[in-house]
Structure 1
Amino acid sequence: MSAHRILSGKVVIATHNAGKLVEMRELLAPFGVEAVSAGELGLPEPDETGTMFSENAAIKAHAAAKASGLPAFADDSGLCVDALDGAPGLFSARWAGPAKDFSGAMARIADELDRRGATNRRAHFVSALVLAWPDGHTELFEGRVFGDLVAPRGQLGFGYDPMFRPEGMDRTFGEISSEEKHGVDWQSGNALSHRARAFVELARACLRRPV
């Protein structure tokens, strides 16, 4: 296996999702990395034709790296519901439609569970993070968080956060501050969210804190 490559200087965050952009910038901030988004650079969104989260993250990261000439950092993530055979999964964003109506998407999940008569409310979030350089070098890291689905609660977070209650907690992601949701205890490496857990692995391999 080739050695990990250290990221420094400027990086493109290959997303047009405002919620993901905020989280990624906050995660990168302690490492002295300057982050600019694909949207700010006017980069188009590539077609996500992969069959796994990691493939879609790589598509976005490589497209942004090639177009910008800078290293690019991309996430592909989604909610996988056990009783729906892993749906919405890769299609989590598409369930919200062009208007990104996640209230409607959460209602669709509830309707699908009711239609199937499912009592199992187990689910998990997956995040695949990819760092790509213009020369094609790629780094991949994944994180997961398990929990169950409840009636949507809370106005924090984004996407399906209000209906997801992580294991061991009474609150949903929609009731948890961004600092708590993706904060990292760097001494232990513990993190709550799927994206933060993937980022811990990425940071250990590819980032260095400024002296």
Structure 2
Amino acid sequence: MTSQPLDLTLDQLLTTTRSVRKRLDLEKPVPREVIMECLELALQAPTGSNAQGWQFVFVDDPEKKKAIAEVYRTAATPYLDAPKPTYGDSRDERTPLVVDSAKYLNDHLHEVPAMFIPCLEGRPDGAPAGMSAGFWGSILPAAWSFMLALRSRGLGSAWTTLHLIGDGEKQVAEILGIPFDQYSQGGLFPIAYTKGTDFKPAKRLPAEQLSHWNSW
């Protein structure tokens, strides 16, 4: 099965791919063939020394999704209920909406058609900054490429990492049989078709406010 890509320009794809939560279609099945098609595209992402030490775990078993969602909620619920920082700019206007959206996903995570967990061989715990950056730089581009591929085909996801807090990563490794001592998990991504495909660019701080030339 080959999915039909949306009619998006490259700029539209890059500016409208973001975390989707409330607009995930929890009822519509996602064929495995479509997921694998997106993964094939993601595998073109860069990886340090071309090592390609990655493995990708997909979960569509209802009981395992439920178990993983419970691990996620252990960290997500207190985090989402805690007071959020203020910035004194336009970001403060979006905070209540973002929190509300994240709480929705927290409540419904077990209902998503599939989950995606990118893994990379090794554990960077306590590694120097350069090694840690190189490590995560060998898996996170592929995860982002996967999100772009999903978006291009009318699907959505959300980049979450809360299950990695505390013992959560190890618990999920045990649920899925991931060799915890050999592979690090880079996140937890729900996969679903989206309710509509008319996403817009998000409000961001202006580039001029965030850029530095030749010195800070």
Q: Do both share a fold (TM > 0.5)? A: no
TM-score range, shorter chain: under 0.3
Question: What TM-score, normalized by structure 2, do the two folds share?
Answer: 0.26
